[in-house]
């Protein structure tokens, strides 16, 4: 960076640190470490910084009015991107008597910009148009006349090959999508039937009516349920796969699970936290097979209060593998064929539905939030092409399991909080008032009221807003913007509480097959049950749990980003087959660059403002209370509108609409 001595000294004194986030156009922003306002970095002031770099910078102009603060990058402190995914191209190398070729890789992510040179011997034999993984060996440095370079480490295939599109995103986000042979070998050794020795000294529940309820296409079953009613009191059992019986602490399997943090569920692909020999095998609560579990046995009164509980190592034998759709048809429709097929558990299912209603009512009474906007369900054919896109079917059966899992998670969290032992909690902090004030203004623009008290904000105030729009066209929009106004849940070693659930104590106990924090707290629970939590063991957990919580939170956010990008890609692919077709949707937001519309099938696209005439008006760049006007037409957030699909770009994962002609 060229500066005179006086300026260099001044910049050095005022240098700050942050992460550079580049736009596809070259300019970018600094996300300050520890929070704070974003700093705008013009293209001419970014130097050779690349998206994701840790940089030092100075503020060259303070924020004023609607204008963000502006800055200049003075030094790249750490290159945090070491691998990219992109498309390989061949290019002729001039000035050679014998024609030789070198190639370059253009990143899929436009935020990285530019291209990376690859020598022939480092190309791994890649062909023109191949999707590849490139390890960066040299970064652009204009001062020393260096260009960006790399080595191709993996060829994913051509973009049209089945599964390459999803795999490209998986690799771009650095997900570990395969297991090394030593890890699969260790998993194979663990996958053996439950022996009498394994079951010894455990609570034997194999004679009880215990069963799983999961999605139609689920393959790993980490929770099963049971229920008995005695003297008007409910005895609810939530039985969770005892994964720690097979994944010892600090083993190869355990270290790999920690590096993954979570299983990732993508269209047509599951990337498990544990090898399938465990996740779909001995750890999965498959029907009619003995399985080792950790059970949370709760005694619940008719008002939904947990009167008593017991947490115990157990052994179960699931009597049925039930699906949400079948259970819902039994509960809601009294389906005669299914009721006959599962006659032995129909009374239990009806009682479970009754108890779930009681728990839901109690939870709602204390102010817990319930969002009902549709999640996307994407169905693919054998070639990986999208067959259909639509909202995921939520029903009484899914709600039933959710209520039971919440009850178990709260019970376990409260129990171990009172014991004052090291633990990992699932925490959801109170939202920022400024964001809720914006939500309040937005809701008022749609005719809904959000009452915010002067002091602490209770989730019941937000739930009243959600209730007021229940069943109305604006409901999905209000719910999504409400969710965006809340903070992200994360893992902590302190019991901060869970705002969204209005819960003082909450943890993740119920999914150790697919979430590492659940697996970790199972170890703590079992050490406690066996009296092993001496000073040395407590000190051990105190030394590692915060790092586990921070890493698990980070990996969870990363997996959510992957899921979101894969969903956007498949939606663009699907809509590419529907160019020119007309749909009805709801305007979800209006920004400086376009009007976003969400269709009934959950696909969201944008009407670019550049495609409209100049006669429009934008009043708020933050996205709240934003209106646009075109001639005699007025576009308002929450308004129903008919659109025509104009463009769907799979590479950019963008969909453009146009207002349908009257």
Collapsing DSSP states into helix, strand and coil, what is residue 608? strand
Tokens of 639: 């308004």
Cα dist from 580 to 548, 568, 569, 659, 661, whole Å:
49, 19, 19, 11, 12
State the pLDDT at residue 12.
Answer: 42
Which tens digit of pLDDT belongs to each residue from 76-116?
999 988 999 999 998 755 554 434 457 999 998 888 888 89
The whole-angstrom separation of Cα 464 and Cα 462 is 5
Q: Give the DSSP per-residue string, 35-75.
A: ----EEE-GGGSTT--TT-EEEEEEEE--BTTBPEEEEEEE
Mean pLDDT confidence for 468-495:
89
In angstroms, what is the C-alpha Rg of the chain? 28
Residue 572 has pLDDT above 50, yes or no: yes
pLDDT averaged over every residue in the chain: 89
Which tens digit of pLDDT belongs to each residue from 118-172?
998 899 999 999 999 999 999 988 887 788 999 999 999 999 898 899 999 999 9
Closest CA to 256 of 167, 179, 172, 171: 179
State the pLDDT at residue 394.
Answer: 82
Question: Residue 256's pLDDT band (boundaries 50, 70, 90)?
Answer: very high
Q: Which of 60-64, 374-378, 413-417, 627-631 has the lowest mean pLDDT?
A: 627-631
Closest CA to 600 of 578, 583, 582: 583
More confident residue, 473 or 290: 290
Residue 362 has pLDDT above 60, yes or no: yes
More confident residue, 372 or 430: 430
Residue 337 has pLDDT above 90, yes or no: yes
Closest CA to 428 of 502, 363, 512, 347: 502
Q: 32: buried, middle or exposed (CB in 10 Å: 19+, 13-18, 0-12)?
A: middle
650 CA to centre of own chain? 21
State the pLDDT at residue 10.
Answer: 44
Which tens digit of pLDDT belongs to each residue from 396-412?
999 999 999 999 999 99
Tokens of 434: 């400024």
Closest CA to 410 of 353, 366, 375: 366
Mean pLDDT confidence for 263-282:
95
Phi and psi at residue 119, to the nearest 5°: -75, 160
The whole-angstrom separation of Cα 548 and Cα 184 is 23
Tell me if 5-78 shares its fold with 83-161: yes
Instruction: Write down the domain spans for the chain.
Output: 5-78, 83-161, 181-429+487-567, 578-659
Residue 360 has pLDDT above 50, yes or no: yes
Question: Residue 455's pLDDT band (boundaries 50, 70, 90)?
Answer: confident
Tokens of 550: 């921070």
Q: What superfamily would CATH give domain 5-78? A: Nucleic acid-binding proteins (2.40.50.140)
The whole-angstrom separation of Cα 380 and Cα 166 is 12
Q: Which of 336-345, 505-514, 605-614 has the lowest mean pLDDT?
A: 605-614
State the pLDDT at residue 623.
Answer: 41
Q: Give the DSSP per-residue string, 423-442.
A: --EEEBPPPPHHHHHHHHHH
Domain with residues 83-161, CATH architecture: Beta Barrel (2.40)
* CA 246, 252, 256, 258 torsion-angle sign: positive
**Residue 1: DSSP 8-state:** -
Which tens digit of pLDDT belongs to each residue from 170-221?
999 999 999 999 999 999 999 999 999 999 999 999 999 999 999 988 888 9
Mean pLDDT confidence for 591-608:
89
Cα dist from 279 to 133, 179, 199, 553, 641, whole Å:
28, 13, 20, 21, 45
Domain at 578-659: CATH code: 2.40.50.140
Mean pLDDT confidence for 514-539:
97
Mean pLDDT confidence for 560-564:
94
State the pLDDT at residue 94.
Answer: 55
State the pLDDT at residue 25.
Answer: 81
Tokens of 307: 């009167």
Residue 346 has pLDDT above 70, yes or no: yes
More confident residue, 20 or 525: 525
State the pLDDT at residue 8.
Answer: 39
Residue 14 has pLDDT above 80, yes or no: no
Q: Which of 214-218, 372-376, 524-528 has the lowest mean pLDDT?
A: 372-376
Which tens digit of pLDDT belongs to each residue from 53-83?
999 999 998 877 767 789 999 999 999 889 9
């Amino acid at each position: 960076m060229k500066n005179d001595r006086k300026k260099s000294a001044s910049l050095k004194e005022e240098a700050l640190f942050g992460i550079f986030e580049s736009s596809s156009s070259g300019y970018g922003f600094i996300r300050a470490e520890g929070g704070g306002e974003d700093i705008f970095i013009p293209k001419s002031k970014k130097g050779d910084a690349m998206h994701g770099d840790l940089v030092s910078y100075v503020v060259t102009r303070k924020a004023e009015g609607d204008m963000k603060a502006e800055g200049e990058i003075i030094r790249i402190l750490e290159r945090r991107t070491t691998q990219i995914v992109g498309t390989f191209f061949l290019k002729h190398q001039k000035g050679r008597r014998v024609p030789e070729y070198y190639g370059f890789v253009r990143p899929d992510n436009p935020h990285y910009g530019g291209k990376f040179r690859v020598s022939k011997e480092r190309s791994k034999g890649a062909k023109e148009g191949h999707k590849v993984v490139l390890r960066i060996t040299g970064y652009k440095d204009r001062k020393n006349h260096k260009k960006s370079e790399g080595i191709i480490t993996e060829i994913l295939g051509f973009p049209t090959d089945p599964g390459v599109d999803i795999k490209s995103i998986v690799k771009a986000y650095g997900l570990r999508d395969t297991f090394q042979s030593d890890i699969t070998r260790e998993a194979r050794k663990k996958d053996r039937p439950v022996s009498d020795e394994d079951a010894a000294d455990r609570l034997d529940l194999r004679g009880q009516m215990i069963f799983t309820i999961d999605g139609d296409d689920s393959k790993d079953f980490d929770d099963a349920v049971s229920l008995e009613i005695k003297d008007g009191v409910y005895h609810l059992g939530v039985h969770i796969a005892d994964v720690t019986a097979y994944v010892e602490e600090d083993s190869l399997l355990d270290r790999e699970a920690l590096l993954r943090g979570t299983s990732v569920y993508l269209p047509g692909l599951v990337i498990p936290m544990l090898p399938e020999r465990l996740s779909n095998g001995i750890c999965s609560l498959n029907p009619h097979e003995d399985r080792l579990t950790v059970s949370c046995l709760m005694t619940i009164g008719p008002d939904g209060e947990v009167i008593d509980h017991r947490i115990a190592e157990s052994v179960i034998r699931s009597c049925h593998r039930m699906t949400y759709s079948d259970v819902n048809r039994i509960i809601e429709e009294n389906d005669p064929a299914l009721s006959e097929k599962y006659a032995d558990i129909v009374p239990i299912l009806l009682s479970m539905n009754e108890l779930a209603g009681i728990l839901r009512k109690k939870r709602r009474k204390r102010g817990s939030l319930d969002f009902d906007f549709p999640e996307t369900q994407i169905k693919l054919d054998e070639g990986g092409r999208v067959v259909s896109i639509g909202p995921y079917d939520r029903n009484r059966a899914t709600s039933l399991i959710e209520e039971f899992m919440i009850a178990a998670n709260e019970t376990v969290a409260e129990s171990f909080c009172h014991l004052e032992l090291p633990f990992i909690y699932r925490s959801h902090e109170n939202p920022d008032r400024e964001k809720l004030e914006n939500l309040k203004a937005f809701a008022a623009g749609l005719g809904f009221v959000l009452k915010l008290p002067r002091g602490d904000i209770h989730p019941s105030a937000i739930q009243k807003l959600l209730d007021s729009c229940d069943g109305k066209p604006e409901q999905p929009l209000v719910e999504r913007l409400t969710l965006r106004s809340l903070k992200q849940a994360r893992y902590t070693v302190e019991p901060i509480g869970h705002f969204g659930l209005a819960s003082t104590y909450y943890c993740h106990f119920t999914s150790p097959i697919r979430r590492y924090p659940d697996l970790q707290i199972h170890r703590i629970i079992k050490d406690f049950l066996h009296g092993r939590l001496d000073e040395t063991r407590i000190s051990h957990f105190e030394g590692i749990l915060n790092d586990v919580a921070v890493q698990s939170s980070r990996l969870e956010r990363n997996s959510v980003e992957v899921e979101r990008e894969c969903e956007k890609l498949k939606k663009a692919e699907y809509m590419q087959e529907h160019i020119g077709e007309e749909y009805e949707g709801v305007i979800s937001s209006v920004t400086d660059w376009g009007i976003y519309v969400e269709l009934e099938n959950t696909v969201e696209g944008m009407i670019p403002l550049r495609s409209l005439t100049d006669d429009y008006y934008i009043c708020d760049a933050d996205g709240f209370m934003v209106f646009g006007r075109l001639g005699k037409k007025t576009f308002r957030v929450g308004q129903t509108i008919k659109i025509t699909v104009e463009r769907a770009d799979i590479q950019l994962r963008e969909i453009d609409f146009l207002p349908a002609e009257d």
